[in-house]
Amino acid sequence: MGMLTERQKRELKEIVFAIIMLAVIMISEKAGIMPKEIDRPVTWFLLYLIPYLAAGRDVVRRCFIGIRNGQVFDECFLMTLATVGAFVTQEFGEGAAVMIFYQVGEFFQSYAVGRSRSSIEALLSIAPEYANIIRDDGSIDTVDPDDVEEGDILLIRPGDKIPVDGTVIDGEGLINTSALTGESMPRRVESGEKVISGCINGEAVLRVRADKAYEDSTVMQILELVENAASKKSKTESFITRFAKYYTPVVVIAAAMLAFIPPIFAGNFMDWMLRACTFLVISCPCALVISVPLSFFGGIGAASTRGILVKGSNYLEMMAKLDTLVTDKTGTLTEGSFRVTAIEPAEGENKDLVLELAAYVEAGSTHPIGVSICEAYGREIDLSRVSNSQTMAGKGLCAVVDGETVVVGKAELLVSQGINIPELKACEGTSCLVSRDGRYIGRITVADSVKAEASDVIRELKSLGTERIVMLTGDAEAAAERVAAAVGATDYRAGLLPADKVTEVERLLEEKERIGNRRFLAFVGDGINDAPVLSRADIGIAMGSLGSDAAIEAADIVIMDDNLSRIPMVVRIARKTVRIAGQNIAFALLVKAVCLVLGAIGIANMWAAVFADVGVAVICILNSMRMLKA
């Protein structure tokens, strides 16, 4: 048992001392070795008072502080009342033992909470401890990340955490982003590329210019987010808070009735008084008040190690009951980048030549289609072969390559230049027709490819109980239908303008409400331009958001990389969280209900009561800690 705080160490010593002391006194009492002349109740009272106060003086002290401050009915008061009751009835041993037992339970409880807290902190160990600033004279200052200013040049040594968001200005190497994204493959960075704080540098030495101060950097945003998440309470948590509010007074009234009414008929006031105390100790709602939020906090922590930031317990709870997933197409279900999927040369033409000429015309183009054609060509482009480049916005391009005019673009562009196009069959994606010297030579088809994991992810979501998966896209019907079918979406809407997406989500929400479906709707998108949809959905999920402030701002759940399989992952984490919280509630209430009944009829004694209080709390906390294991 490492990691004890100073206070826990002190308490542990006091408890151990009290237990030994108690054992010695009990044995001497039973063995009857006390000299006759002092073998009186007052002697035993004083002797038992030593272990009682050794372990429980804090409890007694707090009981009085509580009374003075008007906070009467807390645990300390109940324990003091119960144990003093035992002393009054001359059950000294019992009084001391119950107090010690209670403190043992409290100790375990505080230890378990401390452990789970530090496990969560370890999960979030992305915060950098220092930064090395390279000064103008070449000297290196090691400072707190807080002291880094925008524009400072930082030295990142092998194994260092990148302290703030910045741009690499010198050096290249691999960086490990797994603490932020959950992605275990290291990312290659080189001069000119942006790097995110919290990533761990590999073997290379990098120089990075700070683009942001520490407090605006990704690491800080993530930590803030996860910390604040605990304050957005789930329904289960609010239920517990509300429950505790009504529950405590009800139990106190019941205990008062137990103490005063039965003795009127049955007498034996002291016995009933003790039963009432037992009753009160059992009833403490601590197990619930601690373990339920802890389960949710653990769930949020577990998600964040996989690169999933959940902004509140409530969202995690909703994800456990995901009914409809509305998804954006481009960049979410698909790679979001175009790729050449087919090259069809005309009769007698060469496939490679079609691609080569098209690439020469598109050289330097920033349009995604042009970029994809150049990528497919993949060789160095000798710009001296190209002249007279012209761009016809939205239609295509033309240029002179090796002295011949080459046109690449839509059919209408070629037609307008008087080029004859043969009958072509429909294709999936966007086609670029290529002509050379006034003659059609072939067609290149460019399409956005569906992410490799998309169909598996959707199948998995369906098996997890997601009824509807609706794809929204601005694309034309044919392209939309193809992607929807390929990934296995249950439904799709094509030809939508950005504003239509909100209307569509609203319609789905209404539909769900009308049929009385109480489960939830999530929207997943890339976080760019879809802030209104993200906020309209029950749960807004932004993907591929590493370093995108807007997406982190707008979404309820932020997935740092663009791996779709994080969605079923978060559903599983959410389910496990809700299940564990439910188990804790059921277990605690059941044990307490049984003990309350047994306590009222006098079967459960103070020992059982202390178990029902702190014992149950410890078991529930341990159960919550399962959330932290993968």
Report which residue type is found at 210. Answer: A
Contact 114, 291 (CB under 8 A): no
* CA gap 587, 594 in Å, rounded: 11
3-class DSSP state of 73: coil
Is the Cβ of residue 79 or residue 294 nearer to other proteins in the bound state? Answer: 294
CB of 226 to other proteins, least distance (A): 9
* CA gap 256, 377 in Å, rounded: 86
Active site annotation includes 74: no
Is the Cβ of residue 74 or residue 549 nearer to other proteins in the bound state? Answer: 74
The pair of structure tokens assigned to 22 is 């108690």
Instruction: Write the secondary structure of 194-214 as one string of H (helix), E (strand) and C (coil).
Output: EECCCCEECCCCEEEEECCCH
Cα 271 off chain centre by = 51
Identify the residue whose tokens are 């086609």. 431
Is the Cβ of residue 184 or residue 231 nearer to other proteins in the bound state? Answer: 231
Q: What is the DSSP letter of 432?
A: E
Identify the residue whose tokens are 């230890």. 111
Query: Which residues of the shown chain bind other proteins in the complex (CB under 8 A)?
Result: 5, 7, 58, 61-62, 65, 69, 71, 74-75, 110, 117, 120, 227, 230-231, 241, 244, 285-286, 289-290, 293-294, 297
3-class DSSP state of 415: helix
3-class DSSP state of 91: coil
**Phi, psi for 160 (deg, rounded to 5):** -70, 155
Phi-psi region of 159 (alpha: psi -120 to 50; beta: other; left: phi over 0): left
User: How many helices (H) and strands (E) are present in the chain, helices listed first?
Assistant: 21, 22
* CA gap 242, 64 in Å, rounded: 27
Identify the residue whose tokens are 């542990």. 12
Is the Cβ of residue 57 or residue 351 nearer to other proteins in the bound state? Answer: 57
Is the Cβ of residue 70 or residue 138 nearer to other proteins in the bound state? Answer: 70
CB of 14 to other proteins, least distance (A): 14
CB of 617 to other proteins, least distance (A): 10
* CA gap 447, 432 in Å, rounded: 11
Among candidate residues 152, 160, 323, 328, the one labeled active-site is: 328
Is the Cβ of residue 15 or residue 489 nearer to other proteins in the bound state? Answer: 15
CB of 228 to other proteins, least distance (A): 8
CB of 285 to other proteins, least distance (A): 8
CB of 21 to other proteins, least distance (A): 23
Is the Cβ of residue 58 or residue 356 nearer to other proteins in the bound state? Answer: 58
Contact 545, 551 (CB under 8 A): yes
CB of 290 to other proteins, least distance (A): 5
Q: What angle do CA 186, 188, 189 make, to 5 degrees?
A: 130
Give the catalytic positions in this structure. Answer: 328
